[in-house]
Amino acid sequence: MDRPELGFLLSRLMREVMAREKPILDAAGLEMWDYAVLTALAESDAPTQAQLAASTGRDKTRLIGNLDRLEARGMVAREPDPADRRNRIVSLTSVGAKVLRGCRDAIEAMEAELLADLDPADRAAFERALTALAERSR
């Protein structure tokens, strides 16, 4: 009943996950935020930069630099929205999709290893509960 608090547990686990993700992203030459942007891009459809900033939680002025670098490496494309030419529609290129797929596979394998020691039923419940909680607070 008197377990450590959620915040402490979450932050500790989060640090662990990030530490394990870092070498994977380093190998692909990506920063954490680059990866978050690519992931958000793969899930949402033709977002404007403001929408992308909102969905990733990144500050919109900071997002610009990430997009600059990703665009220079041919992973994303910025094109003016034909419907409203003030907007820039960001899209994932085939190169970007390929890099993202590689990182995502490696990260999923890392996560599987991290969760391997859990009781299978607990693990399923953990993932279910975490997804529900994260989904609700959006």
Partner DNA sequence: GATGATCGTAAGCGTGTGTAGATGATCCGT
Partner DNA sequence: ACGGATCATCTACACACGCTTACGATCATC
Please name the helix (run of DSSP H) or strand (run of DSSP E) that holds residue 92, with its range, or none: strand 88-92
What does the block give as tokens for 41?
């891009």
Question: Looking only at residues 2 through 41 of this chain, which bind DNA when binding is defined by CB under 7 A?
Answer: 32-33
Which of its own copies, DNA, none does residue 59 bind to, with CB < 5 to 8 Å depending on kind? DNA
Residue 112, Cβ density class (10 Å: 0-12 exposed, 13-18 middle, ≥19 buried): exposed
Does the protein bind DNA through residue 68 (CB under 7 A)? yes
Query: In whole angstroms, how close is the CB of 20 to DNA at the nearest point?
Result: 17
The residues, ordered by sequence, that sit 6+ positions from 73 with a Cβ below 8 Å of its Cβ are 29, 95
CB-CB contact of 89 with 80 (8 Å): yes
Among 12, 15, 22, 62, indicate the residue that binds DNA (CB under 7 A): 62
Among 3, 59, 83, 84, indicate the residue that binds its own copies (CB under 8 A): 3
Query: In whole angstroms, how close is the CB of 46 to DNA at the nearest point?
Result: 11
d(CA 71, CA 40): 15
Query: In whole angstroms, how close is the CB of 100 to its own copies at the nearest point?
Result: 12
Does the protein bind DNA through residue 91 (CB under 7 A)? no
Which of its own copies, DNA, none does residue 50 bind to, with CB < 5 to 8 Å depending on kind? DNA
